[in-house]
Structure 1
Amino acid sequence: MDVKCAFFNGVLTDEVYVEQPPGLEAGGPDKIYVGDIIFGSKSGRMCKKFADIMTKKFHMSMMGEMNFFMGSQVKQTKECILINQSKKLDTEKVGKLVSSTKYGEIIGSLLYLTASRPDIAFAVGVCARYQSDPKEAHTDAAKCILRYIKRTPNLGLWYPADDDFKLTGYTDSDFAGCGIDRKSTFETCQFLGSKLILWFSKKQTSVATSTTEAEYIAAGSCYSQILRLVQQLKDYGIEESKVPIFCDTSSAIAISQNPVHHTKIKHVPIRHHFIRDHVENKDVSVEKIHTSIQLTYLLTNALPKERFNDLCGRIGLINLEE
């Protein structure tokens, strides 16, 4: 549905002006984007009923079956759903970068592209750290990402139409991976069956004192995402219990089951320990996985070509033209 009204929550008594934040001015006042919404149901009758209600209540119009949304191309078949963001590069935009503004624009576009391209999430995340004062080395790295995207414009996520809705999570941490402040970056991804539905990579707010601490915090963050997904699945009548989270660090798994390694986690804030309660309640289980098949490595490290391509295939990232 195409949304034609930006304010749904009440009658406005004052004039409201919408403008872009300072430093991001582009186009003119007629270029402001409001937004669309998507909805779905197995029942065509319910879809029509919902659309009728919304169009009568708000300024909206139906656009039919979704095949394009917020920059993402969507192809729906009886067998699967394919999502990708084909990005066409302008040669002027990949020339020599001379300002933080231009560098920031490129990084902003790349960050948006990671919505359907987890294969570039790690590289883009590293480049994004230097937006305030980019140097030539940083712009060269950004250009490498752009060249990779130009060679692989049709990569997208594959969602097969099966009945496997088993929820699983993968978690990892790059201990002290940031060369500037030595903070760790943790990564998580969640699957419904073989379908990648969520991935997340973030630098931790404080310096971890050990690999165990970094991995344990990452596991807690992974379960935060799992907990939200479990609640959402309940809305669709799917009950999940003892959701497995795969981690490749034995000491972090041991702590989640029993806080015996107290000397290794004495600096961990209390808020990260909630995962132990859920392990005891059998809501989740933290399990060992071999490093060679740890899927979050795609979000953690610069990898050899063979390993990189293997992990891309394992998470369902395929060439949509083949």
Structure 2
Amino acid sequence: MKVNLFFLGLQVKQSKDDIFLIQTKYCKEILKKFEMERCKKATTPMSTSCYMDADLVGTSVDQNKYRGLIVSLLYLTASRPIIMFAVCLCARFQSNPKESHFKATKRILKCLKGTTLVGLWYPSHFPIHLVGYSDFDFAGCELDRKSTSGTCHLLGSSVISWHSKKQACVALSTAEAEYTAVGSCCAQILWSKQQLEDFGLKVNKVPLLCDNTSAIDLAKNHIQHSRTKHIEICHNFIRDHVSNGDCDVKFIEIANQLAYIFMKPLPKDKLFLLREIFGLKREGGVNCLQGFFENFFS
């Protein structure tokens, strides 16, 4: 028996074997609203050579139209983590949008044109295994040199939460930038643990994977060194949760870092691989990496 529900533009298809979340109808409405129904398809939401800044000499565009497009795309990220970074980057220029910024957002729409039937797939036969990934882009913003934090969390074989946000303060080192990202990832892990406990599922020492050994050492070292005192106190709570066994910060090779997709635009091959790992597939299609998850998350 299959259950098909609509909720605020989000379609939920549930059966005894899986749950499928998709926003096909909402995606088509966006393309129609912004007159991109007949546009060419793009394989990625942003080119790897894309460079975005304030563009002070560029031609201004309608601010209301640009903001409306950004808001529409932000809601669409509820089922499409692969466009998260591109949308958040374009959202930084809402106060004074230029043609170059609008062109970048249109590239996202072109990507949606070819993926209207893609959604999040949650199979029921995978074990409950929660894992968090944390990464950063050090001083990646060209305007103020603030770093970007990116995190994602997978339950079983599919992604359940993702995050891409410019950090509030300028990081003085890669360790500080990663430590800030790890703090955000830890906070989301605590929320996910609480949600699972409400369903009677208890998990401890959730793996939190990052590719910066200095940040890992800071999370596990309870001695406050003078060179780390400039790190905001709000991010030091991760040490307590490591001690309590809520999470376990571990090292992961950059090649296996899934949160990298929330930091920079990726080439087509890498993007397609992460799309499969995250559990994104076409409606009625088969995820070609189903056998890959058991080894990847063990």
Normalised by the length of structure 1, the TM-score is: 0.76
Contact 1:210 1:264 in 2 (8 A): no
Higher RCO, 1 vs 2 (CA within 8 Å, ≥6 residues apart): 2
CA-to-aligned-CA distance 1:276-306 (integer Å, 9 cap, x gap): 1121222211001111111111111111111
Match of 1:114 among 69, 77, 84: 77
Identify unmatched segments of 5+ residues in structure 2.
40-58, 286-298
CA distance in 1, matches of 2:34, 2:179: 45
Contact 1:213 1:264 in 2 (8 A): no
Structure 1 counterpart of 2:239: 276
- Matches of residues 29-178 of structure 1 in structure 2 within 5 Å? 65-86=3-24, 87-88=27-28, 89-90=31-32, 93-94=35-36, 98-162=61-125, 164-178=127-141
CA-to-aligned-CA distance 1:191-238 (integer Å, 9 cap, x gap): 111121111111111111011001001111111111111112111111
Equivalent residue pairs, number: 259
CA distance in 1, matches of 2:277, 2:248: 22
Identify unmatched segments of 5+ residues in structure 1.
1-63
CA-to-aligned-CA distance 1:153-209 (integer Å, 9 cap, x gap): 111111001251121111111111111111111011111111211111111111110
CA distance in 1, matches of 2:18, 2:89: 33
In structure 2, relative to structure 1, the CA distance for the partners of 1:159 and 1:90 (3 Å cut) is same
Q: Considering only CA atoms, is the larger Rg found in Structure 1 or Structure 2?
A: 1
Find the residue that maps to 1:67 and give its secondary structure.
strand
- Matches of residues 169-188 of structure 1 in structure 2 within 5 Å? 169-188=132-151
Alignment of 1:320 onto 2:262 = no
CA distance in 1, matches of 2:107, 2:230: 39
Structure 2 counterpart of 1:306: 269
Alignment of 1:242 onto 2:205 = yes
Offset at residue 262 of structure 1 (A):
3.1
CA distance in 2, matches of 1:161, 1:186: 30
The structure 1 segments of at least 4 consecutive aligned residues displaced by more than 6 Å after TM superposition are: none
Identity over aligned pairs, percent? 49
Normalised by the length of structure 2, the TM-score is: 0.82
CA-to-aligned-CA distance 1:121-157 (integer Å, 9 cap, x gap): 0100100000110011001101101111011111111
CA distance in 1, matches of 2:35, 2:143: 28
CA RMSD of aligned residues (A): 2.0
Structure 2 counterpart of 1:227: 190
